[in-house]
């Protein structure tokens, strides 16, 4: 009788722990269709229990990967480049590349709420001013303002992938730090596919700074 009681208590404890884990593990909050103006309907997904309080989202594109791991782009928000079409960076071009490619072959676009390499929009604008006034590159300007040169964390990207039951990917990126960070967080990166190089007069110095910090194109 005591054995049955102990077994019952253990089962109850396991169930309680499982219930607690389900409340704290990253998971999908809402998934709903998002028709795009190119005729493709993706799924836009929000999350709960991520490790920070930012509003990160995923855009999942339908498609047949031909037995390969899904194509994934981890992209940090850039209002100036994506909304206002700033030529100071290549962020708008890169997200357009990802959407165009994934619309054709499927994939997952992780859109991280990490403006200005994680320092926020107002600080990013301050960094623009510092670059212009002092001739600093984008990394040095962040440091001049008292930040790390890049304050982004890609751990939340790994959390989002696991919430989507994806642990093996092909990564669309020119940033080796994304590759190593995701691998450290348990994501298998089968293949790294470089993004295009979108050079303009206004972003030439920016692209050189990125290249000096290890980026490939």
Q: Which domains does the chain have, with CATH numbers?
A: 28-114+154-212 (3.40.50.10990), 124-151 (no CATH)
Residue 6: what pLDDT? 54
Strand, coil or helix: 141:
helix
Which listed residue (4, 101, 150, 201) is catalytic? 150
Distance CA 177, CA 189 (A): 12
**What are the pLDDT tens digits along the chain (217 aa)?**
555 665 555 455 444 444 444 468 999 999 999 999 999 999 999 999 999 989 999 999 999 877 899 999 999 999 999 999 999 999 999 999 999 999 999 999 999 999 999 999 999 999 999 999 999 999 999 999 999 999 999 999 999 999 999 999 999 999 999 999 999 999 999 999 999 999 999 999 999 999 999 898 7
Query: What global pTM score does this model have?
Result: 0.87
Angle formed by the axes of helices 155-163 and 176-184, nearest 10°: 60
Active site residue 37: no
CB atoms within 10 A of CB 66: 7
Residue 103: what pLDDT? 97
Distance CA 189, CA 180 (A): 9
Q: List alpha helices for the chain, DSSP H.
A: 2-24, 79-82, 91-105, 115-118, 121-134, 138-144, 155-163, 176-184, 204-212
Active site residue 88: no
Residue 7: what pLDDT? 53
Q: Which residues, including other chains, have CB under 8 Å from residue 89's CB and lie 6 or more apart? A: 78, 80, 81, 203, 206
Residue 66: what pLDDT? 77
Residue 2: what pLDDT? 56
Which sign does the torsion angle of CA 96, 47, 125, 74 carry? negative
Pair 209, 139: CB distance under 8 Å: yes
Query: What token pair was written down for 125?
Result: 């604008």
Residue of 3, 11, 195 whose CA lies nearest to 99: 195
Residue 8: what pLDDT? 56
Distance CA 131, CA 143 (A): 11
Distance CA 190, CA 69 (A): 7
Q: How far is CA 153 from CA 2, 61, 146, 182, in A?
A: 50, 24, 18, 10
Distance CA 69, CA 164 (A): 13
């Amino acid at each position: 009788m005591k054995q049955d009681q102990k077994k019952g208590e253990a089962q109850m404890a396991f169930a309680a722990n499982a219930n607690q884990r389900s409340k704290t593990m990253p998971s999908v909050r809402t998934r709903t269709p998002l028709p795009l103006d190119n005729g493709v309907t993706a799924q836009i997904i929000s999350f709960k229990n991520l490790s920070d309080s930012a509003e990160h989202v995923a855009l999942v594109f339908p498609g047949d990967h031909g037995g390969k791991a899904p194509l994934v782009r981890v992209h940090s928000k850039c209002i100036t480049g994506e909304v206002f079409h700033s030529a100071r960076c290549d962020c708008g071009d890169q997200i357009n590349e990802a959407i165009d490619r994934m619309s054709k072959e499927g994939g997952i676009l992780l859109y991280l709420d990490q403006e200005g390499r994680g320092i926020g929009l107002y600080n990013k604008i301050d960094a623009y001013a510092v670059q212009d006034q002092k001739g600093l590159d984008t990394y040095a300007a962040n440091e001049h303002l008292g930040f790390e040169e890049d304050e982004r964390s890609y751990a939340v990207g790994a959390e989002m992938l696991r919430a989507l039951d994806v642990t093996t990917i092909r990564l669309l990126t020119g940033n080796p730090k994304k590759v190593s960070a995701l691998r450290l967080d348990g994501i298998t990166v089968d293949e790294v596919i470089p993004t295009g190089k979108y050079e303009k007069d206004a972003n030439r110095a920016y692209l050189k700074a990125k290249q000096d910090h290890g980026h490939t194109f």
